[in-house]
């Protein structure tokens, strides 16, 4: 357990870098008072770190978030996307696609990421002032598109088409009726059709002629049809584009508000920079709630959970659990001393068999861009952003983070 002073953990107690007293900018949770409780709707609200991790690692649960149950209920898919699959099918899919996200493969992506980052910073320097969240979206889409194989679009604007689908998605918890009108439903169908016709279908056609080293080529080798591939592209698009965009924005927001932490980051080694990014992510988890459905009767700690129950895991609260994170969990303290087996980012990348496969890529991509950006001494915030909630990913959206860079 770390020692604290009035501002949080002391450097002798586990903060090898400057620790920031800036509170969370998006996570309005508090340390959990109870590990798990049942609300009036029968949903099991899991807030403690150990209890949430226990659920994520359990074999007797299945994915219920990210519209998983809606997609399964249609019965239209020959192959479930990796985000929704369970059991040996899921394990096999993770093994087959792991090569796209290994440190070695990510290292091969680095020159590509660096080129895109440099181009975006040049664009900012020429304009003098832009929204950083727009730049982070462009980067996240470019990188994810390369990994997935969405590189043959018939028209520009891939990022707009992805965001149109995500921003118009679900607005309730799993198992509850969607409050979606007929017009909204038609808009979503149109968004999906545009994404398929302009982005996914051309990529499939190009890879039927010649395979490449990307996910769509792999799915074709596995016999996936167009609908299966479209669904997989949507899930990877949500995970790889939307969440990385938000994290880059919130990390930049933190670092631009704290000059000492920014200096530690810019002048640190890669390991030190990643430690700072992981701690920001622990404090600002992009996906604030993960959902699981109990397929059998479960015991979570001392709480019995009947088969069929919905479990809502509050990642934001779990990552503030002082029994695991240590003293002053609400402060940003890179390099915390954590118990063996606890990741520096807490549960922000999930845990268990559905842990985010692109975790290393997301941090690497963010680091390549942010270090290049923040090394400019003239970079400053012009106006702070608004923070709202995205109901598809159950996480925050940062919009209007205006920054300036004098050339």
The 10s digit of each residue's pLDDT in 343-360 is 999 999 999 888 888 899
Read off the CATH number of the domain in which 28 is found.
1.10.630.10
Give the confidence band of 5 by pLDDT, cuts at 50, 70, 90: very low
Q: What is the pLDDT at residue 12?
A: 37
Cα separation of 313 and 48, whole Å?
9
How far is C-alpha 126 from the geometric centre of its chain's CA atoms? 30
The parent domain of residue 228 ranges over: 4-404
Which of 53-57, 72-76, 255-259 has the least mean pLDDT? 72-76
pLDDT > 70 fraction of the chain, expressed in percent and rounded: 86
Question: How would residue 69 be classed by pLDDT, with cut points 50, 70 and 90?
Answer: low
pLDDT in tens, 292-346: 999 999 999 899 999 999 999 999 999 999 999 999 999 999 999 999 999 999 9
224-232 long-range Cβ contacts below 8 angstroms, 24+ apart: 224/78, 224/79, 225/78, 226/196, 226/200, 226/201, 227/76, 227/77, 227/78, 228/77, 228/78, 228/79, 228/81, 229/200, 229/204, 230/192, 230/195, 230/196, 230/200, 231/71, 231/77, 231/81, 232/81, 232/82
Q: What is the pLDDT of residues 86-132, one digit of tens each?
A: 667 766 777 777 888 888 889 999 999 999 999 999 999 999 999 99
Overall domain count for the chain: 1
pLDDT of 6 strictly over 80: no
Q: What is the pTM of this model?
A: 0.91
């Amino acid at each position: 357990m770390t020692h604290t002073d009035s501002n949080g953990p002391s450097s002798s107690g586990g903060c090898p870098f400057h620790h920031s007293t800036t509170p969370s900018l998006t996570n309005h949770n508090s340390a959990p008072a109870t590990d798990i409780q049942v609300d009036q709707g029968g949903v099991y609200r899991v807030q403690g770190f150990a209890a949430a991790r226990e659920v994520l690692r359990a074999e007797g649960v299945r994915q219920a978030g990210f519209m998983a149950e809606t997609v399964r209920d249609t019965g239209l898919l020959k192959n479930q996307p990796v985000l929704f699959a369970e059991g040996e099918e899921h394990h096999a899919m993770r093994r087959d696609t792991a090569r796209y996200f290994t440190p070695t493969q990510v290292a091969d992506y680095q020159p590509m990421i660096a080129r895109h980052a440099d181009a975006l910073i040049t664009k900012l320097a020429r304009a003098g002032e832009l929204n950083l969240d727009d730049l982070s979206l462009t980067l996240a889409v470019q990188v994810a598109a390369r990994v997935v194989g969405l590189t043959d679009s018939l028209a520009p604007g891939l990022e707009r088409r992805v965001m149109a689908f995500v921003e118009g998605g679900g607005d309730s918890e799993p198992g509850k009726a969607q409050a979606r009108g007929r017009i909204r439903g038609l808009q979503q169908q149109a968004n999906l059709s545009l994404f398929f016709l302009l982005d996914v279908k051309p990529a499939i056609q190009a890879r039927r002629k010649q395979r490449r080293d990307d996910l769509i080529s792999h799915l074709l080798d596995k016999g996936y049809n167009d609908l299966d591939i479209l669904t997989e592209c949507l899930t990877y698009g949500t995970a790889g584009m939307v969440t990385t965009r938000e994290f880059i924005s919130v990390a930049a927001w933190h670092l631009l508000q704290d000059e000492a932490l920014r200096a530690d980051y810019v002048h640190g080694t890669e390991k030190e920079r990643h430690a700072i990014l992981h701690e920001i992510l622990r404090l600002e988890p992009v996906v604030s709630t993960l959902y699981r459905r109990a397929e059998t009767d479960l015991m979570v700690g001392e709480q019995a959970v009947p088969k069929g129950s919905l479990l809502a895991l509050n990642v934001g609260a779990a990552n503030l659990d002082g029994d695991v994170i240590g003293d002053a969990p609400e402060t940003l303290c890179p390099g915390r001393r954590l118990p063996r087996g606890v990741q520096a980012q807490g549960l922000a990348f999930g845990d268990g068999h559905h842990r985010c496969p692109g975790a290393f890529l997301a941090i690497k991509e963010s680091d390549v861009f942010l270090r290049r950006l923040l090394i400019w001494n003239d970079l400053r915030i012009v106006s702070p952003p608004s923070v709202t909630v995205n109901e598809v990913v159950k996480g925050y959206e940062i919009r209007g983070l205006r920054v300036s860079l004098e050339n």
